[in-house]
Structure 1
Amino acid sequence: MPTPAPAAAAPKARRGLGGLGRYILVRFALIIPTVLILMTVVFFLMRVTGDPITAAQGGRLTPEELAARRAAAGYDRPLIVQYLEYLGNVLRGDFGTTYTDHTPVVRILLTYGAATAELVVYAVIVALALGIPLGMIAARRRDRWPDAVLRISAILAYATPVFFVGLLLKLIFSVALGWLPVAGRISNRGELAMGQILNPSPFYLLDAIRLGSPELIADALSHAILPALALGLLTGGIFLRLVRTNLIGTLEMPYVDSARSRGVREGRLATRHALRPALIPIITVMGMQIAMMLGGAVLTETTFEWKGLGYMLAQYMQARDYVAVQGIVMMLAVIVAVSNFVVDVIAALIDPRVRY
């Protein structure tokens, strides 16, 4: 009676695949209510102190001109009607036009969103490059002086305000030593050289590579080092402690003890046997860390005049241009929601226990 075994195995495989597919669909479906809730909250909170035209132009126009502009823009209608109209425009891809500089919000998102994405990528690279190897060192030197020094450094890294770290890095490496640029994404000469590209992308490093200019590549990277360090150190400290804690736990697992009894060296045990399970918690929290980075990007971009969404958000908030603020916040919400979705899918593929 050998035939029933394959028949029993097939439904089990189908159930596993269905569980993963259902998990991915549910996580993807959660993106829509997440963005919708945040967009709704931002819309109504922005109007607690009045309509956008009054907030942006209230002291510059006469009461008659202000009333005329409010009526023309439809801000004299009930708030729920304004919300439904705004929601319909967003679904059509129309995020409105700013009141301060009359720029379509979509253009702002496309122009400056790439700069923020570029900075976050640099910061993630810094966080992983520092957090994973230093966390491994701390785990392997558990309760010794290297472990103590690294743990204190990790606490300082994620407890120190990002703008203070940025100012400190500027004072040391830009003002005192003169090694790196003080601010900006690229030098004025580099920006002029970028004008030679017929179809430029919003990513300066990519355009520098397309031009094949080592000087431009070095220029773009040198401007990114300090902002990436300021933003990446925060998450790097968290990764360090996560890797340390989970690697210590994994090194005490029975299968690692079995490999140790066979004479496998401690370094190989850590890198080949224990590291991958220890990295799973890092992957699961990566989405939250990207959200933290986007929050820190506002301060980092302002500190280094890195003209991304965070920098523009600070500028438009000072100008009380609520239309621009709504569009930028919603874009940041989409980035965070999509990042969490991608991280959850990767975690589900790596760890079969992650299922609904």
Structure 2
Amino acid sequence: MTIAAPEVVAEEQETDKARGGGFLRYVLIRFLLIFPTIFILVTTVFFLMRSTGDPITAALGGRLSAADLERRIVDAGYDRPLLVQYFEYLGEIVRGDFGTTFTDGREVTAILTQYGAATFELVLYALIVALIIGIPLGMIAARFRDRWPDGILRVFAILAYATPVFFVGLLLKLIFSVQLGWFPISGRVSTSGASTLNRITNPTPFYLLDAIRLGDVDLIIDCLRHAALPALALGLLIGGVFLRLVRTNLIGTLERQYIESARSRGVKESRLVTTHALRPALIPVITVMGMQIALSLGGAVLTETTFEWNGLGFVLVQYMQARDFVAVQGIVMLMAVIVAVTNFIVDIIAALIDPRVRF
């Protein structure tokens, strides 16, 4: 048995400490970057919204007399200098107060809680669909590189992320809802399912979670059937990107020397793909997943409108049409937080998988 010299042991300990310190420093930097990202987006949205005038005039200008409109503007403080309003708005955000909508008098916080949960569910379903589509098909494309399965899958990937998500949604509704009648045409749950959910004590804004709490199999199936087509429409968009990424990175990994050595020892090609090459090829997919969250939130606006899925995208369109800038600012703020936090989590996962990312 060989015993390492004390100098070697000390050097290894110092290396481990340096790696641990590098990881903690990486986490801290990535966490601190969340705040300027949100600050820049909130500031941009605030001034862009106010470039057309004050929110009250924009939302209620055609429905109030000049005297009533002026009184409400003064009461809300929108007659003050823009910078004063801006810093007051930042202070309210820090306190967790996002204001009250002008068109229906609802607390923006309540809107974010209710509709944000619906969007979270849709994006989660879409990511599951994207991973189910992208990873296996990307592996098949890499395995049969430059052969007919690869060609078909590459065309499929291009069509998946290039076709507008609302067109895919309408096509899915026409085929699977109108013609075949397999899935509901719109909504998050059926009327009977909504009645059941309304009877729950202390309900959450997550329909599927409440259905699981009840242990109602029919209600669970009802929620999943309503989510199937919206998730597929949005998941295809992201899945096409994942397919291309997995294919490209698997091909690069399969050309590395250690893969060639395993191949020369008679290891089957399918085992090389699934066992030896897949994990390194998934690192870029995980890294890009944060950006895909932002893409899916943008796609959720069109998907939710197409399927009348009552999420942030659906209600955002309604408040934008009503020119209710207070609600729009709150919704965009939440989306910015979701994207920033998701990218932070993805960065940490990528650093844990691949230590080179930390440095």
- TM-score normalised to the size of structure 1? 0.99
> How big is the shift at 1:115?
0.4
- Residues 1:269 and 2:272 are matched in the alignment: yes
Counterparts of 1:106-255 in structure 2, within 5 Å, are 106-255=109-258
- In 1, Cα distance between the equivalents of 2:237 and 2:24? 34
Q: Supply the AA of the counterpart residue of 2:6.
A: T
- Residues 1:40 and 2:43 are matched in the alignment: yes
Structure 1 stretches of 4+ with a deviation exceeding 3 A read none
> How big is the shift at 1:207?
1.0
Unaligned runs of 5+ in 1: none
Residue 59 (structure 2) aligns with: 56
- In 2, Cα distance between the equivalents of 1:94 and 1:140? 53
- In 2, Cα distance between the equivalents of 1:51 and 1:164? 36
Counterparts of 1:50-129 in structure 2, within 5 Å, are 50-129=53-132
> How big is the shift at 1:196?
2.3
Cα-to-partner distance string for 1:138-195 (whole Å, 9 max, x where unaligned): 1111111111110001001000111111011100100111110000000000000112
- In 2, Cα distance between the equivalents of 1:277 and 1:2? 34
Q: Supply the AA of the counterpart residue of 2:180.
A: L
Q: Supply the AA of the counterpart residue of 1:31.
A: I
- In 1, Cα distance between the equivalents of 2:295 and 2:307? 18
Q: Supply the AA of the counterpart residue of 1:94.
A: D
- Residues 1:320 and 2:308 are matched in the alignment: no
- Residues 1:340 and 2:347 are matched in the alignment: no
- TM-score normalised to the size of structure 2? 0.98
3-state secondary structure, aligned to 1:33: helix
- In 2, Cα distance between the equivalents of 1:195 and 1:11? 59
> How big is the shift at 1:3?
2.2
- In 2, Cα distance between the equivalents of 1:259 and 1:201? 51
Unaligned runs of 5+ in 2: none
> How big is the shift at 1:2?
2.9
Residue 290 (structure 2) aligns with: 287
Identity %: 70
Q: Supply the AA of the counterpart residue of 2:64.
A: L
- In 1, Cα distance between the equivalents of 2:63 and 2:353? 58
Cα-to-partner distance string for 1:85-142 (whole Å, 9 max, x where unaligned): 1110110000000000100000001111110000000000000000000001111111
Cα-to-partner distance string for 1:20-78 (whole Å, 9 max, x where unaligned): 11111000000000001100000000011100000000011111111110000000000
- In 2, Cα distance between the equivalents of 1:273 and 1:314? 46
1:11 to 11, 14, 22: 14
Q: Supply the AA of the counterpart residue of 1:24.
A: V
- Residues 1:304 and 2:328 are matched in the alignment: no
3-state secondary structure, aligned to 1:353: helix
3-state secondary structure, aligned to 2:266: coil
- In 1, Cα distance between the equivalents of 2:28 and 2:133? 34
Cα-to-partner distance string for 1:212-261 (whole Å, 9 max, x where unaligned): 11110110000000000110001100000111111111111111111112
